Amino acid sequence: MSLRVAVAAPFIQNGTRRLKENEFVVALSLDRDWFSPDQAKRLIDIATKEGLLERDDDGLAVTFDPVGVTVPEEFVPDEDLLRERSAFERVLDSLVAEGMEKHEAVGAINTLQRELGLTIEAAAVVYARREGIDVDDLVPIARSAVRDTEDG
């Protein structure tokens, strides 16, 4: 969830859905003092991989409506955002963002994993879909994880 907030902030600040990459970096590093310029660039890479941003010749486009995101006054993103998250972590974040308690989601996913004999990533995707959470972007990752365990 905080990744979405950190990504949305520069777009909200500038009242747009498109920014040049340097404008995004300046907004996060100089204007907000959340990250160094190198960290802000790393955040772009992660947000792009997670489908929150798209890169093109003109810069960056946000793939969700930033107006729907609230940036709390006291919000400061954690540096954990700068590491790539597993599919499991991404699904868990989506579940928590929808109001589910983290420990309940983890317990339910672990149970599903045992019952179906799936990887944790695949179980998380199946569980989220059963709960009506859109995690379609993670389905290929979960399928790949299932194939890897079958091959191994």
Q: What is the pLDDT of residues 49-76, one digit of tens each?
A: 888 999 988 899 999 899 888 888 888 9
More confident residue, 19 or 81: 19
pLDDT digits (tens, 9 = 90+) for 91-126: 888 888 788 899 999 999 999 999 988 888 889 989
CB 123 within 8 A of CB 116: yes
With tokens 């947000």, the residue in question is 47
Q: At 60, which helix (H) or strand (E)?
A: strand 59-62
Is CATH 3.30.160 what the domain over 3-82 is classified as, yes or no? no
pLDDT at 149: 54
Query: Residue 90: CB partners within 8 Å, gap ≥ 6?
Result: 50, 135, 138
Q: Looking at the DSSP assignment, which residues form a beta bridge with residue 19? A: 60
How far is residue 56 from each of residues 51, 59, 145, measured CA to CA in Å? 13, 5, 30
pLDDT at 35: 94
CATH 1.10.10 intervals, the chain: 3-82
The rounded distance, in Å, linking the Cα atoms of 113 and 123 is: 5
